[in-house]
């Protein structure tokens, strides 16, 4: 074992004298000092603090929003290409994407969120060498969990028919899903890489990689679907290839970039230690995020059980595609909120952590209201981007008021989930999600949709009620939290994971 490892075990280096990226930590420390300075006038203190926080927030959120928007645009463009083949193909692609693919996306993204908590707090505490180990450990765990998910994709046709979807749509949807199997394993590598980079406030390179890949994706999708005639299977295969391009490019950046020199020191056998502890934490994260991701997936599946399911699926899928695209803005701020809160907690800055929560929530709410107004103003024409037909356009226009309400709620709820990830509250939020979404939202939605004959509008209205209740609970918990205790919990979490590493370091 080298001297550096021995010194780390015998006497941890104080955080104050460890090397650190000066720009990030300097502004963060300034923010904590400013908020603690009671001698300064109140308005001046908080005006300056707001300006510092906005700079830190938008430095993270702007490229993150771009990255998530571009990644979602790849999926949306694939559905648009499929939709131009016909309304049936569009319904099948949407059912395959939102009925099956979101299962893998939600589970693996949720498990990857454990990396977000650990890497964010470790980076804030300046324990940089731990980040690379967390990245590798998460990739190992997610790859193992990808294997049973593949079975769900392979059995997608009988599963969709079993829950009551029409055989014609299910057959085409399963063909689309088969082409997405390689995407599962791309997710398993991509999400840990994303969280690893975001914890270090490195988001711009991922955004540029995603944008370049989108250009490739659009061109090759057009060739595969229209010139070669590969149809739905070709469209989904191109999407899988595009995701693997993103994964490889990001990993090359990590290995070659000087910005990751301290956090990536090559492959470590430590990645295969402490797997069970990581699985427990990542499963709590997965349950929390899956329950959120699958919530509106259930809406699409239940809509397929209504009379005239093709029209219901087409109209709802247009609205869900718009919601999913604009939801990426909230997810970008979700990532920024998680990084800001976890970094501040790891650095021992409780006031800065809470102030970050306040600012990011206010900013996202404003953006969400603007999105809702724009969607309402374009409600009669927006469906033509996805598929033709006046009947579908009228159905979409009828659903747009519910879409606008959903967008406003999505301006707050994902940010609060990001705060929960930054704090490590995943298990608590999972219980909240079960109660609000699955014991309140879905039952009320089914009651309104089927018993009171309100159709899609009834199902969606009930689910909005569940989201509203969940948002109110998270607001109450977040703004009543003891942030000094959260700092102490972050310190204990880091010490626990450091203890897991020590035996292997001693052997080396």
Question: Position of tokens 């404003």?
Answer: 366
Question: For residue 9, how many other CB atoms are within 10 A of its CB?
Answer: 14
Q: What's the burial of 89, exposed, middle or buried (CB within 10 Å: 0-12/13-18/19+)?
A: buried
SS (HEC) of 268-283: CHHHHCCHHHHHHHHH
Domain extent for 480: 25-503
Domains: count for the chain: 1
User: Which two three-digit tokens encode residue 395?
Assistant: 């159905």
With respect to residue 8, please indicate whether it lies within any of the assigned structural domains: no
Q: What is the pLDDT of residue 9?
A: 33
Alpha-carbon distance of 35 to 30, in angstroms, equals 9
Structure tokens at 204: 């711009």
* Contact between 415 and 330 (Cβ < 8 Å): yes
Residues 6 or more apart from 432 whose CB is under 8 A from it?
Answer: 470, 473, 474
Asked if 193 and 260 count as a contact pair (C-beta separation under 8 A), the reply is: no
How crowded is residue 325: how many other Cβ atoms within 10 Å of its Cβ?
A: 15
Report yes or no on 16 lying in a domain: no
Residue 335 inside a domain? The answer is yes
Which token pair is 202?
A: 């490195």
At 99-145, the pLDDT tens digits run: 777 777 777 877 877 777 778 888 888 888 888 888 888 888 899 98
How many other C-beta atoms are found inside a 10 Å radius of the C-beta of residue 22? Answer: 8
DSSP tally for the chain: helices H, then strands E: 20, 0
Measured distance CA(10)–CA(203) in Å, rounded: 35
The per-residue DSSP string of 394-409 comes to: HHHHHHHHHHHHHHHH
Task: Look at residue 10 and tell me if it is in a domain.
Answer: no
| Whole-angstrom distance, CA of residue 315 vs CA of residue 318 | 5
Percent of the chain with pLDDT over 70: 89
Residue 159 CA, distance from chain mean position: 26
Q: Does 306 map to a domain?
A: yes
> What is the distance between the alpha carbons of residues 438 and 291, in angstroms, rounded to a whole number?
9
C-alpha 152 chain-centroid distance: 21
E strand map for 232-299: none
Arithmetic mean of pLDDT over the chain: 81
Residue 284 confidence (pLDDT) above 50: yes
The 10s digit of each residue's pLDDT in 200-219 is: 888 889 889 999 999 999 99
- In a domain, residue 11? The reply is no
Query: What is the pTM for the complete model shown?
Result: 0.73
pLDDT band at 498 (very low <50, low <70, confident <90, very high): low
- Residue 12 is assigned to a structural domain of this protein: no
Q: What is the mean pLDDT of residues 184-191?
A: 92
| Residues 371-406: tens digit of each pLDDT | 999 999 998 888 887 766 788 888 889 999 999 999
394 within a domain of the structure (yes/no):
yes
């Amino acid at each position: 074992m080298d001297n550096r490892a021995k010194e780390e075990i015998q006497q941890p280096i104080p955080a104050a004298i460890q090397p650190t990226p000066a720009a990030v930590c300097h502004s963060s420390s300034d923010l904590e000092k400013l908020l603690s300075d009671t001698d300064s006038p109140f308005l001046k203190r908080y005006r300056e603090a707001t300006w510092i926080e906005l700079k830190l927030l938008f430095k993270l959120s702007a490229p993150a929003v771009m990255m998530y928007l571009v990644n979602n645009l790849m999926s949306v463009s694939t559905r648009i290409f499929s939709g131009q083949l016909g309304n049936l193909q569009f319904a099948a692609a949407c059912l395959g994407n939102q009925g099956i693919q979101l299962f893998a996306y939600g589970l693996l993204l949720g498990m990857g969120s454990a990396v977000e908590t650990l890497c964010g707090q470790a980076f804030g505490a300046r324990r940089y060498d731990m980040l690379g180990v967390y990245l590798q450990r998460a990739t190992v765990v997610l790859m193992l969990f990808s294997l049973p998910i593949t079975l769900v994709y392979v059995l997608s046709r009988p599963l969709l028919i079993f829950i009551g979807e029409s055989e014609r749509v299910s057959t085409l949807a399963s063909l689309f899903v088969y082409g997405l199997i390689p995407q599962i394993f791309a997710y398993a590598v991509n999400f840990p890489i994303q969280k690893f980079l975001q914890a270090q406030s490195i988001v711009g390179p991922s955004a540029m990689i995603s944008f370049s890949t989108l250009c490739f994706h659009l061109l090759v999708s057009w060739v595969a679907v229209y010139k070669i005639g590969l149809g739905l299977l070709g469209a989904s295969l191109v999407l899988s290839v595009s995701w693997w391009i993103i994964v490889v490019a990001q990993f090359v950046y990590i290995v070659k970039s000087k910005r990751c020199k301290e956090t990536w020191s090559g492959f470590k056998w430590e990645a295969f230690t402490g797997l069970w502890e990581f699985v427990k934490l990542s499963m709590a994260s997965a349950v929390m995020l899956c329950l959120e991701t699958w919530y509106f997936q259930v809406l699409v599946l239940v809509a397929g059980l209504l009379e005239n399911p093709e029209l219901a699926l087409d109209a709802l899928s247009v609205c869900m595609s718009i919601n999913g695209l604009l939801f990426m803005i909230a997810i970008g701020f979700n990532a920024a909120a998680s990084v800001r809160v976890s970094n501040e907690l790891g650095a021992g800055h409780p006031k800065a952590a809470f102030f970050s929560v306040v600012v990011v929530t206010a900013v996202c709410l404003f953006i969400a209201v603007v999105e809702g107004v724009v969607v309402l103003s374009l409600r009669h024409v927006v469906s033509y981007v996805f598929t033709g037909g006046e009947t579908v356009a009228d159905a979409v226009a009828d659903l747009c008021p519910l879409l606008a309400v959903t967008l406003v709620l999505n301006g707050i709820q994902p940010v609060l989930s990001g705060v929960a990830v930054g704090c490590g509250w995943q298990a608590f939020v999972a219980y909240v999600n079960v109660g609000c979404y699955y014991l309140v939202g879905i039952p009320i939605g089914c009651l309104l949709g089927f018993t009171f004959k309100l159709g899609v509008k009834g199902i969606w209205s009930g689910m909005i009620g569940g989201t509203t209740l969940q948002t109110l609970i998270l607001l109450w918990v977040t703004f009543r939290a003891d942030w000094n205790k959260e700092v102490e919990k972050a310190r204990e979490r880091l010490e626990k994971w450091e203890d897991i590493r020590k035996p292997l370091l001693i052997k080396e």
